[in-house]
């Protein structure tokens, strides 16, 4: 494995994007970042700007209002990047599927690398999702 690939796997910086989620998944992401799970040991840091990020954590079924913003944030993340759909809504649209207010699920809009199922998913599952996505894409 090249030094660059190893560095990419070892340092995934996360950006959290809420696209109309009920806040359940967002809380679980925050829980996954606490010292109990300590994602910094995997090199993960939560960054505030998509320009610093490598991994886009998207929650929620993409609402009509959020559609242009999702695309814009996705384009603001510099290549190479990974998208992880967190929770059932982002993965499949879940109970909102077919609603006229919803433009999702996420993979209709931007390419998704890993789906983390659950309503909401456990923090362990989110950490696992990030690690899997990064290894699959950069490894």
Sites of contact with other proteins (CB under 8 A): 3-4, 6-8, 10-11, 35, 38, 40-43, 47-49, 51-52, 54, 76, 78-80
| Contact yes or no for 134/82 (Cβ under 8 A) | yes
Nearer to other proteins, 89 or 126 (CB): 126
- The number of beta carbons lying within 10 Å of the beta carbon of residue 6 is 12
DSSP result, 59-81? ES--BTTTHHHHHHHHHHSPSS-
Give how far Cα 81 sits from Cα of 76, 121, 138, Å: 10, 22, 9
**Shortest separation between residue 80's beta carbon and other proteins, angstroms:** 7
Q: How far is the CB of 76 from other proteins (least distance, A)?
A: 7
Output 30 or 101, the one with its CB closest to other proteins. 30
Minimal distance in Å, beta carbon 60 to other proteins? 21
Query: In whole angstroms, what is the distance from residue 51 CA to residue 58 CA?
Result: 16
Nearer to other proteins, 7 or 99 (CB): 7
Min dist CB 107 to other proteins, Å, is: 22
> Mapping DSSP to helix (H, G, I), strand (E, B) and coil, where does residue 22 land?
coil
Nearer residue to other proteins within complex by CB, 79 or 100: 79
């Amino acid at each position: 494995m090249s030094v660059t690939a190893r560095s990419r796997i070892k340092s995934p910086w996360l950006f959290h994007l809420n696209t109309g989620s009920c806040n359940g998944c967002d809380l679980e992401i925050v829980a996954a970042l606490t010292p109990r799970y300590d994602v910094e040991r995997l090199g993960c840091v939560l960054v505030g700007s998509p320009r610093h990020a490598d991994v886009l954590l998207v929650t929620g079924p993409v609402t009509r209002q959020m559609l242009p913003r999702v695309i814009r944030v996705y384009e603001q993340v510099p290549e190479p990047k990974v998208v992880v759909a967190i929770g059932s809504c982002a993965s499949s649209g879940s109970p909102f599927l077919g609603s006229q207010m919803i433009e999702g699920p996420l993979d209709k809009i931007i390419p998704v690398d890993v789906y983390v199922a659950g309503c909401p998913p456990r923090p362990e599952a989110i950490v696992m999702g990030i690690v899997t996505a990064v290894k699959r894409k950069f490894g």
